[in-house]
Structure 1
Amino acid sequence: MPPKQPPQRGPTPQVAYGYVPHAPGAQPVHGQALQGVVWMPAPIPPPNCPPGLEYLSQIDQMIIQQKIELVEIIIGFETSNRYEVKNAWGQRIYFAAEDTDCCTRLCCGMDRPFTIKIMDNVGQEVIELQRPLRCSSCCFPCCLQELEVHAPPGTPVGYIKQTWDPCLPKFTIQNELQQDVLKITGPCIACSFCEDVHFEVLSLDEQTAVGRISKHWSGIVKELFTDTDNFGVQFPLDLDVKIKAVLLGACFLVDFMFFEAGGGGSQRMGVWG
């Protein structure tokens, strides 16, 4: 019998920035596993797709999970937020990290300006979210919230702009030409206690629901003692990948506006106006 050949080994994959390993004994079942993290396999990019957004062409929903920061739980000091973005099968699509300084987080709290860098499975930054310092109350209609989405960084692909309304939180989704594409409408009182909170993604005439952004109830312990939030976003499978990236950015803006405590350990309730 011929001698057995040693198994072929491919190149060692890079570990994505900020990776958090699975629990001991967890076995990856789909996609590429990097140091215990199961990543979604990269599909063939569709035509005119910005690099890194090809993952979005294959999905109609995303799960955004904020990572628990022990420093916030122990001493109540607000740290930079970190998130995992997964598909419906639990495979990680992206890792997101807030880029702010401690002074900004301390002084501005949930209204702080930020840059969020969203990276793929080799640590390559593929999306960048930029939020300037703005008001979030209907009492100041000339200075409402905005978020700019770049993919790749330096190339705007869309915008989220808050729309003035005396009763409800409303937003407009725009493409790279700042043309209106979709609307988002949330509840008058965005209370996260014991139930999910839904922000509906609507057509421009606000008559047809085309998707949803949901803040998921995480359990009494997490809700009371941390500012760690879980979100889901749903959209049509054939939606432009650039607009899908903008809707992902809208999740982060909604989180900061309504569910992000100024420091660890307080319950959030967003009341519009």
Structure 2
Amino acid sequence: MSVGLGTQVICEPRSGNDALPDFDVPRGLQFLLRSTQIRVYRVPIEGENKCCSAFPRKYYVTDSEGNPILEGVESSSWCSRLCAERIHGFDIDFRDADGVTVLLMEKTLGCPLFYCCKAPAISVTSGQDFYGTVAQSANLPKMRLSLMDAIDRPQLRLLGPCIRQSRYVDGIFKLKCHSERGSLGRLTVQHFAGMDSYQIFFPIDLDLRMKCLLIASAVLLDCIFA
């Protein structure tokens, strides 16, 4: 498997040693190698700026059994959160149980309603390795998120509803190859204790960098649906 990902590598199953990544995987991300589903959910941060609800976002990533594996906290200005909750830019450091940063996500300033001019996007880095970018590529009639590799080649797509669903109805995004043929998995948006929860299902042999981009996709959707 080469460093540059190709659609063939993403969409076809691999076995044996071919499924092992050819780059260093931080210990805090190794659980993804054997995972077929994870959950990303946001919890409120309180204790500062109690005069309003402009709290930074805090996320947890759990394994299939619900055990928290990663924790990420937004870094941004109070003013930007207050004035532009849906579109402001920010950074998130995802740390493992030892407090080591294993993923750095950077969201750019972007508006989901005018994605043609300034599409919301999140780039993902681990250490010195750039994993890729997730960007909104369409809004009507369906929401489309494009997952691109480190050299900006589209690899996967998420297709789902363009508006937030009722708290009693799950919003389902289908995970597909960039050609949109077949289905590789799904991302389900669920209402969880007052906050949206994102359950993500994918093949076990999906490239680890794409799995990390799926985590970023949940964060991006959380901003779009804010």
The ranges of structure 1 where at least 4 consecutive aligned residues each deviate by more than 3 angstroms after the TM superposition are 68-72
Q: Does 1:185 align with 2:152?
A: no
RMSD: 2.0
Measure, in 1, the Cα distance between the counterparts of 2:157 and 2:133.
Answer: 12
CA deviation digits over 1:177-226, x for unaligned, max 9? 111111111113322321211111111221211111111122xxx43xxx
Matched, 1:112 2:84: no
Q: How far does residue 46 in structure 1 lie from its aligned partner after superposition? A: 5.5
1:243 aligns with 2:219: no
| Residue of structure 2 equivalent to 1:144 | 119
2:100 paired with 1:133: no
TM (normalized to structure 1)? Answer: 0.69
Instruction: Report the residue type matching 1:55 in the other structure.
Output: F
Corresponding residue for residue 7 of structure 1: none
CA–CA distance in structure 2, aligned partners of residues 140 and 196 of structure 1 = 24
In structure 2, the residue matched to 1:97 is 73
Helix, strand or coil at the partner of 2:112: coil
Query: By how many angstroms is 1:111 displaced?
Result: 1.4
Partner amino acid for 2:89? P
Find the residue that maps to 1:53 and give its secondary structure: helix
Normalising by structure 2, report the TM-score: 0.83
The number of residues matched between the two structures is: 205
SS at match of 2:93: strand
- 8 A Cα contact 1:164 1:170, kept in partner: yes
Q: Which amino acid aligns with 2:55?
A: T
The amino acid across from 2:93 in the alignment is K
Gaps of 5+ in 2: 1-19
CA–CA distance in structure 2, aligned partners of residues 71 and 197 of structure 1: 31
* Residues 140 and 99 of structure 1: CA distance in aligned 2, closer, same or farther (over 3 Å): closer
Residue equivalent to 2:8: none
CA distance in 2 between partners of 1:212 and 1:189 (Å): 17
Q: Distance in 2 between matches of 1:167 and 1:188?
A: 7
1:97-152 Cα deviation digits (max 9, x unpaired) = 11112111111112111111100111000101101111211x45132111101112
Identity across aligned pairs (percent)?
24
Q: CA deviation at 1:164?
A: 3.2
1: distance between equivalents of 2:185 and 2:214?
Answer: 10
Q: Kindly indicate which of the two structures has a greater share of residues assigned to strand.
A: 2
Correspondent of 1:204 among 139, 158, 178: 178
Does the CA contact (< 8 Å) of 1:192 and 1:215 recur in 2?
A: no
Shift of 1:70: 4.7
Q: Which amino acid aligns with 2:204?
A: L
Q: Equivalent residue for 2:35?
A: 59
Matched, 1:84 2:26: no
